[in-house]
A and B are shown apart, each in its own frame.
Chain A
């Protein structure tokens, strides 16, 4: 046997708690990443681990593929993930979250698959596949994290929203950039994801994006 391996690392200006929320918010897989994922169902979940079944279309492989995933937070800076895919393949991933300053984080993802030596020639393909996947999903998550941090610093409360919007009162003069972002798992679920599962709602969407640029003062 031999090993296919890839490693990617990015530094971002988001707190570690928000990044871990993002990885454990399994419901957004068929929302934010609706162009990649088709379905997801959480089979079991508790505290810092989750076992799920999901289908997705990977880069360079234009067919829908099913996998089951088990992920757990080994420490508050280290997530391990195991994807059980077709043909008995097991993709093992380690996600390391390293604080950078007060509100930053470096995310390093290592991916490994053990294959027969005869498949060693797949190394470049595996690396390109993981790189394409990592960065396409990463970019979608970046916009989500950016917005999540913005509303969080404005005082957003999950399942409530922003009080000043709801109550039609004046809001904060400025975001609270010091508001801590705790790690609280599991992320609460409200869809059918823990029962029958959820599917992406569109085959295609007219995407209008996160909004127009703000008007000048």
Chain B
């Protein structure tokens, strides 16, 4: 795994609070709801299919983030087990992913996509499509 991997190439490091509060503005249409903050209580993570995306939302050190829940290996659920020692372990073949970077610790070439995320009131939204040009 690259040791100097950026936390998020697109949005930069997460805000200190971990919550990007967009309550002052309307929700952009490109963002879709993935769940509620209350669904993070307890396990501090959940996953859900939104459209044709399976999204893993988690809170770590007070920061809420969203990764793809689809293991690039064979498509297993990365968030089946609760996050342990900063690592997600895919159920199917035990590939492990760094929760800070999304990089796979088992196979260097794999990396989970991070979705842009925002909070509006108690709802969590993610941006599924960022590049409109090509399918």
Contact = CB atoms under 8 A, between A and B. Distances in A.
Interface residues of A, number: 46
A31 B94 contact: yes
Interface of A: 25, 27-28, 30-32, 34, 144, 147-148, 151-152, 154, 156, 158-162, 164-172, 175, 190-191, 198, 200-202, 205-215
Contacts of B47: 208, 210-212
B51 interface: yes
Contacts of B29: none
A28 B50 CA distance: 26
Given A212-B35, A214-B48, 14 more contacts: A27-B92, A158-B73, A161-B75, A162-B52, A165-B53, A165-B113, A168-B113, A171-B51, A171-B135, A191-B106, A208-B81, A211-B46, A212-B47, A215-B35
B94 A201 contact: yes
Contact of B46 (A201, A208, A214): A208
A160 B49 contact: no
Contacts of B39: 212
B131 interface: yes
A169 B73 CA distance: 20
Contacts of B89: 201-202
Interface residues of B, number: 47
Given A32-B92, A198-B94, A205-B82, A154 B72 contact: no
A210 B77 contact: yes
B77 A30 contact: no
Interface in B28-79: 33-35, 39, 43, 45-54, 68-77, 79
A67 B25 CA distance: 62
Contacts of B54: 211
B88 to A, nearest CB: 10
Contacts of B49: 211, 214
Nearest to A144: B92
A167 B107 contact: no
Contacts of B70: 151, 156, 161-162, 165
A166 B113 contact: yes
B90 A31 contact: yes
Contacts of B71: 161
B43 A206 contact: yes
Given A27-B93, A154-B52, A207 B80 contact: yes
Interface in B72-112: 72-77, 79-82, 89-94, 106-107, 109
Contacts of A158: 73-74
Contact of B80 (A25, A191, A209): A209
A215 B75 CA distance: 22
**When A and B form their complex, which 5 residue pairs have the shortest distance between CB atoms, in order from nearest?**
A206-B82, A151-B75, A161-B72, A168-B130, A211-B47
B92 A169 contact: no
A202 B91 CA distance: 11
Given A159-B72, A161-B72, A208 B48 contact: no
